């Protein structure tokens, strides 16, 4: 029996962790070779790209894709997790005097390339340990700001003390931190009450499979993306039968003159067969990962 290989866009509901989704997929699909490409907090919902079989080797090319979220921020209450699952650490009625212009400005200040302080309860590792593990023990971990790119923040609704906004950002951005920082800038505190990931690269949550449908083989087949489709955002080069054989032996293939340097290259045999991911070295493309 041929092992399934591909990427399944899953619409994660609020509640389960990203690891829970992977565990559900392993049981439903009958394989251990399952992974995801970007953690969603348990309270968050939305698009999670689940890699299966050989496609687990493609995770690094999907994790870094640009992402889009819709979030709801509650002003006037800051929590220790920066979301609704945490304990309040400060409260203020100052939100009652805020104007929509002030709120928009506080969010707009965060657009661009900036340093962002990760939440205390986050999966980022410090000294080899997830930060949330130390936070749950009540320990303080020294957090260092990390560079992030926030392409845009669009305010969708202001119904104080709630503010709904949409974020387009690079990988590694914490949307909880955006709500926290906006609340701090406004002097009233804030946390997220809702978070939904709606896009990863050019993949939309509208095309995603509900979590409970993972047990439906026909639905999984219909929703699955081939490895070639999953990395369609990469530069690509077509290879012939001789090239397929060479790549299978770990050998390089000739690079067309316009092949870019310093980026991963998808090596394709036809529109829907991904043979390998390579990198241009001189006038050759050397394979880095061979999928066959």
Asked if 63 and 48 count as a contact pair (C-beta separation under 8 A), the reply is: no
Q: Provide the token pair at 60.
A: 């690094």
Q: Provide the token pair at 216.
A: 């439906």
Would you please indicate which residues are annotated as catalytic (active-site) residues? 41
Q: Provide the token pair at 230.
A: 């999953």
Residues 6+ positions from 236 with CB-CB distance below 8 Å: 265, 266, 267, 268
Give burial (CB, 10 Å; 0-12/13-18/19+) of 21: buried
Cis check: omega of the bond before 119, within 30 degrees of 0: no
Closest CA relative to residue 163, chosen from 247, 115, 114, 102 = 102
Q: How far apart (Å, rounded) are the C-alpha atoms in residues 103 and 183? A: 9
**Residues of the chain by 3-state class (helix, strand, coil), percent to 5:** 25, 35, 35
């Amino acid at each position: 029996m041929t092992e399934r290989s591909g990427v399944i866009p899953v619409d994660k509901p609020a509640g389960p962790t990203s690891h829970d989704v992977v565990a559900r997929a392993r049981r439903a699909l009958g394989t251990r070779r399952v992974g995801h490409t970007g953690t969603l907090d348990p309270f968050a919902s939305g698009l999670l790209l689940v890699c299966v079989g050989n496609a687990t080797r493609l995770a690094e090319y999907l994790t870094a894709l640009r992402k889009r979220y819709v979030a709801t921020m509650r002003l006037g209450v800051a929590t220790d997790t920066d979301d609704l699952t945490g304990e309040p650490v400060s409260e203020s009625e100052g939100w009652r005097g805020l104007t929509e212009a002030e709120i928009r400005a506080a969010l707009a200040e965060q657009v661009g390339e900036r340093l962002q302080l990760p939440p205390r309860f986050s999966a980022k590792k410090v000294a080899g340990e997830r930060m949330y593990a130390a936070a749950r023990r009540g320990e303080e971990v020294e957090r260092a700001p990390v560079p992030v790119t926030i392409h845009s923040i669009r305010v969708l609704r202001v119904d104080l003390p709630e503010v709904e906004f949409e974020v387009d950002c690079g990988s590694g951005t914490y949307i909880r931190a955006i709500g926290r920082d906006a609340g701090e800038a406004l002097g009233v505190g804030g946390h997220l009450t809702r978070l939904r990931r709606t896009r990863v690269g050019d993949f939309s949550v509208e095309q995603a499979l509900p979590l409970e449908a993972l047990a439906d083989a026909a639905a999984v087949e219909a929703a699955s993306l081939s490895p070639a489709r999953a990395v369609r955002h990469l530069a690509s080069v077509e290879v012939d039968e001789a090239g397929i054989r060479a790549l299978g032996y770990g050998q390089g293939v000739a690079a067309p003159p316009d092949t870019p340097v310093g980026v991963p290259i998808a090596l394709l045999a036809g529109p829907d067969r991904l043979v390998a991911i390579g990198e241009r070295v001189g006038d050759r493309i050397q394979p880095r990962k061979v999928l066959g």
